[in-house]
Amino acid sequence: MATVSILIPAYKPQYLVRAIISAQHQTFTDIEILVGDDTPDGNLEGIVKGVSDARLHYFHHGFQKGTRNILALWERAKGKYIKFLFDDDILLPTSVETLVAGLRANPDSLLAFHERVFVDADDKVTSAPPRLLADGQIARIERGFLVQNMVGGMNNFIGEPSNVMLDRERFDPARLFEYRSQRLDYLGDVATYLNASEQAPIVAVGGYFSAFRRHAEQASNQFSPHISAGLYEWELIARSEAAAGHLSGAALEVVKRQLAQLYTHWAVPLPEIARFAANLDELVESNPLELLDSVQFQADLAHARKALTTRIAARRKAASASPAQKFCAVCETPVEGWIPHPEANSSRDFMQQMGAVGSTLENHLCPHCNCNDRERHLWLYLDRAQILKGIAQKRILHIAPEAGIERRVRALAPLEYVAGDLSPQKPDHRAINVERIDYPDGYFDLIVCNHVLEHVDRPDTALAEFTRCLAPGGHLVAQTPYSPLLKHTFELNVFPSKPFATRYFGQGDHVRLFGSDLLSRIRAAGLNGDLYPHTTVLGDIDPNAWGCNEREPFFLFAKGPAPAFLN
């Protein structure tokens, strides 16, 4: 019987072999490796059985639910210790050896963990959390410390289950991902750590011995249907610990401030979060011992869980729906239909005669996140062209950032993200005039300027600035309305009136309608690329189903050779 069972609950194929190989090459060799294939049709069997190792065992579960997959693997495990490894993470060679030593040196403890780094799709280290301990140093962490610093600080410093080892013989698997008899949809790992620490201190081992992968393919999960649970479950746990007498006073003030920031950010795309935000004063004004039993909080919790269940069901339905099913690429939510622009039925005879390409007013706003068709099209283009690949090493300038796109890009943790606007309205946005960008030459790897150039006084100057600020090989995305029928850009020597701009430029604050000379103007600035048609980049995308304008091309340019992946 093996000493350690490494459990790999698997659903995604992209990095599974790397995970398995990292388990195979542990310096502690008395292991078994159990892979649970949670795909409905056993799609991972060939990948697993392609790896030759007598210690490797494949099981097809097909639950399509991660917690059930983990519990099924736990039941099959024979080792004294359980080591988790998720299907896109990596263990460094001494991970298992280090954790076994930590638990053997502290036989009363049920759980040990080490630290981890973050890596990209190519296994390159992109960042690392602040060190908890020096290499090789071991510390025992009491439950009170976890409550004050993990729950009170809303900071899961232990990290993901891939960093953790549990004593299988002494830990009840019924307490995995469960908190005080309450089911959790997102913070199950935090619950497990709190549960394990109730019996004995948990063991922390200093050193980065695993890698948590962040990669472009995860972009579709950054707005997963479970994300709201990752917000309100912090409040649920904090209220529970307060009711048990473990959090009060200043600690609850900190929780309130941090929740207020999170809830403000997510209240629009996730309406159920707004209800929690409205009740936050209760955390500091009510008796801490009564916080969990609050009638208002329990009602908000029931409402949020119902919304979560509905969202998950809708996502699953959309995944199996016909191509006609409408789906928002920005918030990744199925929709019944798009909200038309108020001027969708107004007279736009000049723009129509000019064949102007811009927004589609009929399929304008998403009813869930309020993003417009231009934003949805932009995100689809960025995703398909793999512009965000290797984002952890990229500096990005995003001019007049759209809220939904900004949230998605920030969630991918770029090396640097600068949100710039002429008159910024948010504290984390910078004042930037695109005609005079206050950054050094070659600073940015990607500049996104979506439907901005039609507002700029001197677009050629702005394009020259973009070229100057781009690093060699960097990319510019510069969507803007234009007319392929106009030989030259149409603009005035004076600032146009709003009625004139609306009729001839498409919107009251536009100062021009670009013509077919736009391409030569961008290339004259020193950039190479093209206006790539929708059918070239997204030929398999039904524009009506995804709410975008198939006539709008992808304005993609590079400081260097033209983007090869679209040629």
Residue 461 is assigned to a structural domain of this protein: yes
The band of 314, judged by pLDDT with boundaries at 50, 70 and 90, is: low
pTM of the model: 0.60
| Share of residues in the chain with pLDDT > 90 (%) | 68
d(CA 221, CA 366): 19
Q: Does residue 544 or residue 169 have the better pLDDT? A: 169
How much is the mean pLDDT over the chain?
A: 90
Residue 333 is assigned to a structural domain of this protein: no
Q: Does residue 121 or residue 556 have the better pLDDT? A: 556
At 345-374, the pLDDT tens digits run 777 788 888 888 888 888 899 998 999 999
Count of the separate structural domains present in the chain: 3
At 375-434, the pLDDT tens digits run 999 999 998 888 898 899 999 999 999 999 999 999 889 999 999 998 888 899 999 999
Distance (Å) of CA 225 to CA 179, 188, 234, 334: 21, 16, 17, 11
Instruction: Work out the angle between the directed axes of helices 250-266 and 229-243 (0-180°, nearest 10).
Output: 160
The pLDDT value given to residue 320: 54
Residue 338 is assigned to a structural domain of this protein: no
Residue 270 is assigned to a structural domain of this protein: yes
Q: How many CB atoms lie within 10 A of CB 295?
A: 7
- Same domain, residue pair 73 and 164: yes
d(CA 125, CA 275): 39
- Same domain, residue pair 49 and 174: yes
Which residues share a beta bridge with 436? 433
Q: Does residue 530 or residue 320 have the better pLDDT? A: 530
The pLDDT value given to residue 217: 45
CATH number of the domain at 377, please: 3.40.50.150
Q: Which long-range contacts (CB under 8 A, 24 or more apart) does 331-336 make?
A: 331/223, 331/269, 331/366, 331/368, 331/369, 331/371, 331/404, 332/220, 332/223, 332/224, 332/225, 333/366, 333/368, 333/369, 335/366, 335/367, 335/368, 335/547, 336/367
Residue 342 is assigned to a structural domain of this protein: no
- Same domain, residue pair 75 and 175: yes
Residue 334 is assigned to a structural domain of this protein: no
The pLDDT value given to residue 218: 45
* pLDDT beyond 50 at 459: yes
Boundary residue ending a domain (319, 337, 371): 319
* pLDDT beyond 90 at 439: yes
The pLDDT value given to residue 315: 62
d(CA 530, CA 539): 17
CATH number of the domain at 159, please: 3.90.550.10
The pLDDT value given to residue 197: 96
- Same domain, residue pair 300 and 367: no
The pLDDT value given to residue 219: 34
Boundary residue ending a domain (319, 339, 368): 319
* pLDDT beyond 60 at 321: no
Q: Does residue 64 or residue 60 have the better pLDDT? A: 60
Q: How many CB atoms lie within 10 A of CB 281?
A: 10
> How many H-runs (helices) and E-runs (strands) does the chain carry?
19, 23
The pLDDT value given to residue 565: 60
- Same domain, residue pair 375 and 304: no
Tell me the pairing of strands 111-119 and 202-213: parallel
The pLDDT value given to residue 220: 34
At 277-306, the pLDDT tens digits run 989 999 999 999 999 999 999 999 999 998
The tokens describing 465, both together, are: 């600035």
* pLDDT beyond 90 at 541: no
The domain of 543 spans 349-566
Residue 261 is assigned to a structural domain of this protein: yes
Burial of 324 (0-12, 13-18, 19+ CB in 10 A): exposed
Tell me the pairing of strands 4-10 and 111-119: unpaired
Burial of 329 (0-12, 13-18, 19+ CB in 10 A): buried
At 223-253, the pLDDT tens digits run 466 788 999 999 999 999 999 999 999 999 9
Q: Which long-range contacts (CB under 8 A, 24 or more apart) does 424-433 make?
A: 429/401, 432/397, 432/399
Residue 14 is assigned to a structural domain of this protein: yes
Distance (Å) of CA 350 to CA 13, 148, 492: 51, 64, 16
- Same domain, residue pair 403 and 505: yes
The pLDDT value given to residue 322: 46
Count CA atoms closer than 13 A to 446's CA, side-chain side: 25
- Same domain, residue pair 375 and 493: yes
Which residues share a beta bridge with 448? 398, 477
At 252-264, the pLDDT tens digits run 999 999 999 888 8
- Same domain, residue pair 274 and 301: yes
